[in-house]
Structure 1
């Protein structure tokens, strides 16, 4: 039997997730970690940056790196279509605040956890260490990213 996880917001409510697609696979992040969603515009490139780092953008005076998750995790081809967006994520820890843009194929919906249980991720892939679990969404399974792990840019680049 798969081990269940319980994700609750700070108020004790079950979490809500922003779902998005990468090469026809469903992924998500906790909605509380989403700063904004932007249409795809080519960011300012950074010389000698890894191929998954598309550059940086300026958001209200903050320089924010933009990482293409398809490229970073080798998920399908990296085509930029009219549906391609950049999700700006933020993580506020005890002693730091981090922001990063992630390039995704499209944003799907806001998913309420409701009575759905969150299950531990299974298998081995480049994505698995960055996941907090899996949740059923209708007939699909959504892989949920752990925002703190995903926004650890040093770890993200170290394992490229």
Structure 2
């Protein structure tokens, strides 16, 4: 293995975005596309963090208000907001966020585990923390953020 190949294997690319004054990121390998804001069609009996669904080239895609999902005030949704289309474990969804801020290349060694502050391990959606230019960025664990088929889809 060359030195460049070893360095590449030790780094991860992240897509950073803002929710209010906070900054989060996801592994760029889970991002399918970044779309401008489009109004979602609400579905009855869906959880409060699910804004509704949009049609993405013939596929019906749930749109999650990530702020609500993480316990913050809802995003109203306007032309300044974006929808990050992500896919994890065969499940695709749109994450409504305030704005995409950066693409980061971070050494895996710089990803620190978050402090254990929750009693329920399954509700912990932050997989790591990293410091970039004096900004503490939270890395989302997408499989805990996305709705699960059995309990978060409309009845």
TM-score range for the pair, normalised by the shorter chain length: 0.7 to 0.9
1:17 equivalenced with 2:14 (yes/no): yes
Q: Computing the radius of gyration over CA atoms, which structure comes out larger, 1 or 2?
A: 2
Gaps of 5+ in 1: 1-10
Counterpart residue number, 1:133: 128
Which of 78, 96, 112 aligns to 1:103? It is 96
Cα distance 1:115–1:30, how it changes in 2: closer, same or farther (>3 A)?
Answer: closer
Cα distance 1:115–1:65, how it changes in 2: closer, same or farther (>3 A)?
Answer: closer
Partners of 2:71 and 2:148 lie apart in 1 by 17
CA RMSD of aligned residues (A): 2.6
Note the C-alpha offset of 1:59.
1.9
Q: What SS does structure 2 have at the residue aligned with 1:120?
A: coil
> More deviation in 19-28 or 67-76?
67-76
Q: TM-score, normalised by structure 2?
A: 0.80
Gaps of 5+ in 2: 1-7
1:69 equivalenced with 2:62 (yes/no): no
Note the C-alpha offset of 1:17.
0.3
Note the C-alpha offset of 1:29.
0.2
Counterpart residue number, 1:7: none
Partners of 2:55 and 2:137 lie apart in 1 by 30
Counterpart residue number, 2:106: 113
The alignment of Structure 1 onto Structure 2 pairs a total of residues equal to 144
Q: TM-score, normalised by structure 1?
A: 0.78
Deviation per CA, 1:111-132: give whole Å up to 9, x if none: 1104761001125369971111
Instruction: Tell me if structure 2 keeps the 8 A contact 1:89–1:100.
Output: yes
